Structure 1
Amino acid sequence: MTSYPLLLKQLWHTPLANAADQEIIYRDRLRLSYYQVYTRIEQFCAALATYGLQQNDVIAVMDHDSHRYLECYFAIPMYGATMMTVNTKLTPTQIAYTLNHSRASMLLLHADFIPIIESIHAELPGIQKYIVMADGTAVPQTILQFDDEYECWLANQKGGFNFSDFDENTRATIFYTTGTTGMPKGVYYTHRQLVLHTLAAGMALTAPAARQRFHSEDIYMPLTPMFHVHAWGIPYIVTLLGLKQVYPGRYAPDMLLQLIREEQVTCSHCVPTLLKMILTAARASAVDLRGWKVVVGGSALPQALARQALEMGVDCFAGYGLSETAPILTLAQLNTTAQDSVTGDSLARLCCAGRAIPLVDLQIIDQAMQLQAHDGQSSGEIVVRAPWLTQGYLDDTEASVALWHHDYLHTQDIGIMDPNGYLYITDRLKDVIKVAGEWVSSLELENTLTQVAGVNEVAVIGVPDKRWGERPLALLIVDNRLFKESAAQEQVRLFVEHGSISKHALLTRFKQVEKITKTSVGKIDKKALRAEHAATQ
């Protein structure tokens, strides 16, 4: 009996049979059918073969959210190679590290990002081929030697590429996540894992009878960067469902609202900061957002923001997952009896992490790995098992072992679960700070500020912020004869410019204190500091 491996190419069978004429749109510039996009995927793979690319080679992508990126999502893994999505919000130093660490040999590069790659070009000996994405404009003058322009590269090839079967455990994607210390870590996924995540998350998204759901008549536009955890995996889901897809390119409020209005977009996903920006812009320009459904993740969905969205007719609800979980683990979907009036407990549930999607075994444990009751009160670390979770970090055995301690993936988030299965995240073990969905390392920021004249001691914590979700607060014990806050601000700016810390560190606020609370063993007690300074705005 011939086996049928779970490969990403299998996701195309249904849409090509049932929705071949459905549209995939790029901004206000280009409209393609599913059939045309699939043909371009065939041309893409024929071009890889012409260049002599091998299965298991790593091909990196730096682009805005576009039809091209969707083609990369499929073409590179379907060829048998690995797609590496470059986080364009990392520092140049970190981008160079991730490209080298992943062993990428080819880079598909949007022209907007040429200056970044020019600045680190000498540090990228492994990149042997460059394809530029000119996006309809002239290729700018650059020191980079491009092998071709993306559209010409495809046009020189015929369709009809033969996609062979191979082992479903072949690595399909890799991307990098930053942590509290050191360089970013490589997270990788196989074809089997991505197909199973697509099926389980797709089932969860389409299951509810009324709200907090996607369906076959929806029109989809991603508002999560496609370099970030497969845009939460939703492009794979909507392709399987054959939905009309709209890709906005570089995010700009006017263009996003134009596409929502003119293309009648009905479903998206984004971080709270972006949702707030769109709601504000929509009110200012009198754009009607009724009927728009939005999954909110990356950081907690504030109840005030959810209430504002609901009042404007937006069906928003939270989701939860990690880079290491492909990522969707839970969705905050309400029971049908709670759909009509979303207030009080219903609003809190809409904004919590939600309930586990199919095939996810999610538990709360104490420090002894003992399971905690799902009573809405017993707190502990959130641990999880599912068939699509990353098996480890690339070339980092120690961190991989810690991630999978006692056969559960450890999220390092603290939470409680109520008797109905709703997960509430109450804290996190990590000290990194999440600003607009992106991590800022408190340790790196502390190390930077200790170099400022007059700073005797420093602790950096994350505090709630109405616009950014969180922002860094630096608590400083200083010598007033030497310390100047302007010097601290300048030091952070210099380190950001030099690529040592995230640009979101520029949002740091400073507060002089007389003491910094410590634990009994002399460590900075950041949990206590967060409680003490949570009201700082």
Structure 2
Amino acid sequence: MLATKLIPRTASSQEQPLLVKTILAQSLKYEPQREIIYRDLYRMNYVEFNQRVRRLANVLTSAGVQPGDTVAVLDWDSHRYLECFFAVPCMGAILHTINVRLSPTQILYCMNHAEDKVVVIHEDFLPLLDAIKSQLTTVEKIILVSDKVYQNQEVSVPDGFAGEYENLLKTASDHYDFLDFDENTWATTFYTTGTTGNPKGVYFSHRQLFMHTMGLMTYVCGYEAVPFHSALDVYMPITPLFHVHAWGFPLVATMLSARQVYPGKYEPEMLLTLLLREKVTFSHCVPTILAMLVNSPVAKQVDLSRWKVIIGGSALTKGLAKAALELGIQVYAGYGLSETAPILALTYLNDAERSLPIDEQIELRTRAGRIAPFVDIQLQDDEGRPVPHDGHALGELTTRGSWLTQGYYKETERGEELWRSGWLHTGDVAAITPDHWVIIADRTKDVIKTGGEWVSSLAIENLLSQIEGVAESAVVGFPDEKWGERPHALIVLKPDYAGKVTSETLKTALQIQVSTGEINKWYMPDRIVIVSEIPKTSVGKIDKKKIRSEMKELILT
């Protein structure tokens, strides 16, 4: 152990704990007049926002919420959700952001497992709640959310509910003293689904959220990896707020009093309307959302040259990156996990790389990004030994940092497996270059071993995405008697390409690259099947588990 010397403290000295309330307090200091906007229904400045956060804290206190209790939220992306991001943890309670795309059975499991005490729910999700309500074991109060209050329509509050959100806020005091407490206090929880078993509950402390906010702000505001200027940029998330704290950007945007726009339910027309009307410049989303917008006829008729978009959740393919850049959209990649809060890497182009032609930048922009500040990443082999960061050698990506979950709630053994050997194991196979670029090869379970060669399904998807007419691609491996495994591909075509592009023309395009030596023969899929839709998970990722189980017969016959 190193011989260190501690700084002595006086009896009266006290450091300020790193709490979410500290982030909130900054929003009133410098630009409190800037606006937070919800669809075409509600606008407020940061003074009103802070008042509403305190009103909500009083509402929740009246509903019986005490420090350590859990408050669940089922809502579209809204100003209300943002208020919950702050009010709940600032009270010393725990915010449970529920993935509304999970099945009722999964949501029931998550709510009971997390021991939710109070539920804030949009009326659109009442049928879901009705299906499980009788089986909830810890819920005591339910608060209804409705957009009808902004449209002068009558709201029907079901029997037994505590009331409607806006009406409850109106009658609550806007004075609430958020007290200090230990910065390691539990602040948020949510559940991540795996390939087997029930969803796993990850959790984060105030200190971890504070440190993630500082790290993310350092990267986007300081180093300007994806430049974010609070005075110039308008932020609109297109990643659900239930998905890993919307990647932490709402906390950064609120701390900086940036102008924010919340789109509610994702509808292409509304997203584009808000994008143009509110002059949105900074967003993040999964590839399927960007593909939907890029392929929209309207996208080609408007100026999107001021829009910066970070892609995460699934790999950003070269084809999608090229299509976005051709529309003037500055597209970047980000990488992280539910367990990492999530940011581990983000596209950062240095001075020399920014001067490259766009076609040459695509190679860099479609990597997982450069390792984020204050994050330590190590590649490990199957024996846990370090793998060199030479840009070629592959290993499992493991990480350490100030904001990573310490385990899974009520699942000690799975948490110990996650953190074996003192590093958080991501389950991703990657290479890392000497200048800190992360290149994800695949999930460990998705790498295809064929003829003694390791083949990346992501690499094949990347090749397919660059063929004219391809909108989406998914590649999975199936057992093969001769080669061990072989890749097979699903393809969704762009509008107007049906009949013009076939499985054979796609194979021919790849075969040309094989014959010229651009790609290895092992990368040629045995079958390419054109489909109308590729299965997705609840957060918009390609669901390869579902493809293997439910589409095996379609692919192999």
Give TM-score, length-normalised by structure 1: 0.81
Q: Does 1:69 align with 2:81?
A: yes
Contact 1:189/1:390 (<8 A) preserved:
yes
Q: CA deviation at 1:240?
A: 1.2
Q: CA deviation at 1:339?
A: 1.8
Structure 2 gap segments, 5+ residues each: 1-12, 448-456, 462-473, 477-484, 495-534
Q: In the alignment, which of 251, 274, 282 is matched to residue 236 of structure 1?
A: 251
Q: CA deviation at 1:206?
A: 1.7
Q: CA deviation at 1:361?
A: 0.2
Contact 1:212/1:316 (<8 A) preserved:
no
The corresponding residue for 1:101 is 113
Report % sequence identity: 43
Alignment of structure 1 residues 211-222 onto 2, 5 Å: 212-216=226-230, 217-222=232-237
Q: CA deviation at 1:463?
A: 4.7
> For residues 508 and 88 of structure 1, do their structure 2 counterparts lie closer, same or farther at Cα, with a shift above 3 Å needed?
farther
Task: Indicate the SS of the match to 1:212.
Answer: coil
Q: Does 1:59 align with 2:102?
A: no
Structure 2: distance between partners of 1:282 and 1:54: 50
The corresponding residue for 1:511 is 554
Contact 1:257/1:287 (<8 A) preserved:
no
Q: Does 1:35 align with 2:78?
A: no
Task: Indicate the SS of the match to 2:426.
Answer: strand
Contact 1:111/1:140 (<8 A) preserved:
no
Which amino acid letter does the alignment assign opposite residue 102 of structure 1? A
Structure 1: distance between partners of 2:357 and 2:139: 52
Q: 1:116-173: per-residue Cα shift (whole Å, max 9, x none)? A: 010111111311100000112544575x631110001111111121110011011000
Q: 1:49-97: per-residue Cα shift (whole Å, max 9, x none)? A: 2223110000000000000000000000001100001100100000000
Alignment of structure 1 residues 456-467 onto 2, 5 Å: 463=489, 465=491
Structure 1: distance between partners of 2:375 and 2:404: 10
Structure 1: distance between partners of 2:23 and 2:445: 36
Q: Does 1:20 align with 2:35?
A: no
Structure 2: distance between partners of 1:460 and 1:129: 53
The corresponding residue for 1:318 is 333
Q: CA deviation at 1:420?
A: 1.2
The corresponding residue for 1:182 is 197
Contact 2:157/2:164 (<8 A) preserved:
no
> For residues 200 and 345 of structure 1, do their structure 2 counterparts lie closer, same or farther at Cα, with a shift above 3 Å needed?
same
Alignment of structure 1 residues 331-410 onto 2, 5 Å: 331-343=346-358, 345-410=360-425
Structure 1 gap segments, 5+ residues each: 443-458, 469-492, 515-537
The corresponding residue for 1:485 is none
The corresponding residue for 1:533 is none
Which amino acid letter does the alignment assign opposite residue 423 of structure 1? V
Q: Does 1:278 align with 2:293?
A: yes
Contact 2:488/2:555 (<8 A) preserved:
no
Q: CA deviation at 1:341?
A: 3.7
Structure 2: distance between partners of 1:345 and 1:284: 24
Q: In the alignment, which of 37, 44, 50 is matched to residue 62 of structure 2?
A: 50
How many residues align? The count is: 464
> For residues 464 and 316 of structure 1, do their structure 2 counterparts lie closer, same or farther at Cα, with a shift above 3 Å needed?
farther
Structure 2: distance between partners of 1:196 and 1:387: 6
Which amino acid letter does the alignment assign opposite residue 326 of structure 2? E
Structure 1: distance between partners of 2:30 and 2:370: 32
Q: In the alignment, which of 287, 291, 315 is matched to residue 302 of structure 2?
A: 287
Q: 1:442-477: per-residue Cα shift (whole Å, max 9, x none)? A: 9xxxxxxxxxxxxxxxx9998565579xxxxxxxxx
Which amino acid letter does the alignment assign opposite residue 227 of structure 1? F
The corresponding residue for 1:225 is 240
Q: 1:370-408: per-residue Cα shift (whole Å, max 9, x none)? A: 111111111100000001100000000110000000100
Structure 2: distance between partners of 1:507 and 1:66: 35
Task: Indicate the SS of the match to 2:271.
Answer: helix
Structure 1: distance between partners of 2:488 and 2:272: 31
Contact 1:301/1:351 (<8 A) preserved:
yes
- The range that moved more, 268-277 or 503-512, is 503-512
Which amino acid letter does the alignment assign opposite residue 29 of structure 1? L
